[in-house]
Amino acid sequence: MAVRTIGQSIGDVISRRSRQDLAWKSHRPATQNYFTSPMDDDDLLRYSRQIMLPALGIEGQQRLREGSALIVGLGGLGSPAAMYLTAAGIGTLALADDDRVDLSNLQRQVLHTTQRIGLAKTVSAEQGLRALNPAPRLVLHDTRLRDAALQAAVADADVVLDCSDNFATRFALNRLCYALHKPLVSGAAIRWDGQITVFDGGPTGPCYRCLYDEDGEEELSCSENGVIAPLVGIIGSMQALEAIKLLCGVGEDLSGRVLILDALRMQWRELRLRPDPSCPVCGGR
């Protein structure tokens, strides 16, 4: 489609909206920064395919532009999640990973490249995301976030994406997100199996601890068990989708539901997740 035709279609979309739908733009002070100021013509063109969606529209796009997310882990899950949130026009994206790009990562961690082997994953991610969309504000954490630093990073985000590869980080994120009432988008993939769910941070749970016993889970890693490359792309992309829905306030998220994918058979299962009354994190609230 020619640029002229795209521009005309955007104009048609905008003209169909009522004056009330667009009135909010005229009330924003000129001194506000990029993330809270009205979108210009370039923004409308870049995000036109999203703005056309009736459930999203210009107001939803502006909410995404004003929103913030924290991604913990920039590997197989974090790569597509970061790319799609950046491309979709999120306002602020915090990226946390203390690892460096290795040749063995490149089979599945599509945000990184051969030329960036040896770079910190946060630096590599910044280069890739800037090339994709220079507008979002990127906050880099190139050390493993713990204790007060992790709490501060979670507190600064509107939504948290757990793309990590170890249970210690997952349980720590769960405790903080529950305590701070932050929605947590949890994804995992190993071998041919993937899963995704959302813990909405509500006062009654459920939470990640309701799903997994902190003392009883076997630690699984891709380095020891392997993983098929497109699987992490599927789960990571779905994490970005759930985060966008949460930030924009549209649709129905995966709270209380766990989707499990058997990629060898290409079969999805949905499990209902209920709060565990004896959960040490959310039980008894």
What is the share, in percent, of the chain residues with pLDDT greater than 90?
75
List the domain boundaries for the chain.
Answer: 1-65, 67-272
- Residue with the larger pLDDT of the pair 183 and 204: 183
Least confident of 121-125, 143-147, 192-196, 220-224: 220-224
**For 45-70, how does the pLDDT look when each residue is reduced to its tens digit (9 = 90+)?**
999 999 999 999 999 999 999 999 99
Q: How far apart are CA 225 and CA 217, in angstroms?
A: 15
- Residue with the larger pLDDT of the pair 28 and 127: 127
Q: How far apart are CA 53 and CA 50, in angstroms?
A: 5
On whether the CB atoms of residues 75 and 98 are closer than 8 A, the answer is no
Residue 225, pLDDT score: 82
Sign of the dihedral through C-alpha 52, 80, 91, 171: positive
Residue 218, pLDDT score: 60
Residue 226, pLDDT score: 87
On whether the CB atoms of residues 187 and 242 are closer than 8 A, the answer is no
Domain 67-272: assigned CATH number: 3.40.50.720
Q: How far apart are CA 209 and CA 211, in angstroms?
A: 5
Summary mean pLDDT of the chain: 87
DSSP of 91-141: SEEEEE---B--GGGTTT-TT--GGGTTSBHHHHHHHHHHHH-S-SEEEEE
Residue 192: C-alpha distances to residues 166, 173, 222, 228, 262 (Å)? 18, 25, 11, 6, 6
**For 196-255, how does the pLDDT look when each residue is reduced to its tens digit (9 = 90+)?**
999 998 777 799 999 888 775 566 667 678 899 999 999 999 999 999 999 999 999 999
Q: How far apart are CA 188 and CA 232, in angstroms?
A: 8
- For the CA atoms of 75, 77, 82, 88, what is the dihedral angle to 10 degrees? 160
Q: How confident is the model at residue 23 (pLDDT cuts 50, 70, 90)?
A: very low
Residue 1: pLDDT above 90?
Answer: no
Q: How far apart are CA 18 and CA 275, in angstroms?
A: 43
- Phi, psi for 69 (deg, rounded to 5): -140, 150
